[in-house]
Amino acid sequence: MRVIRVGTRKSQLARIQTDTVVAMLKALYPGLQFEIVAMSTTGDKILDTALSKIGEKSLFTKELEYALERNEVDLVVHSLKDLPTVLPPGFTIGAICKRESPYDAVVFHPKFVGKTLQTLPEKSVVGTSSLRRAAQLQRKFPHLEFKSIRGNLNTRLRKLDEQQEFSAIILAVAGLQRLGWQNRVGQILHPEECMYAVGQGALGVEVRAKDQDVLNLVDVLHDPETLLRCIAERAFLRHLEGGCSVPVAVHTVMKDGQLYLTGGVWSLDGSDSMQETMQATIHVPVQHEDGPEDDPQLVGITAQNIPRGAQLAAENLGISLANLLLSKGAKNILDVARQLNDVH
Among all residues, which ones are annotated catalytic? 82
**Any long-range contacts for 43-52 (C-beta under 8 Å, 24+ apart)?**
43/82, 44/9, 44/10, 44/11, 44/152, 47/150, 47/151, 47/155, 48/150, 49/150, 50/129, 50/148, 50/150, 51/129, 51/130, 51/150, 51/244, 52/131, 52/244, 52/245, 52/341
Residues sharing a CB contact under 8 Å with residue 330, sequence separation 6 or more, in sequence order: 240, 265, 274, 322
> At residue 337, what is the residue type?
A
What whole-number distance in Å separates Cα of residue 131 and Cα of residue 310? Answer: 32
Is residue 130 helix, strand or coil?
coil
Q: Decide if 300 contacts 284 (C-beta within 8 A).
A: no
Three-state DSSP at 79 gives strand
CA separation for the pair 259, 282 (Å, rounded):
6
Are 15 and 43 in contact by the 8 Å Cβ rule? The answer is no
Give Rg (Cα) of the chain. Answer: 20
| CA neighbor of 245 nearest in space, from 150, 140, 134 | 134
- 176: number of Cβ within 10 Å: 20
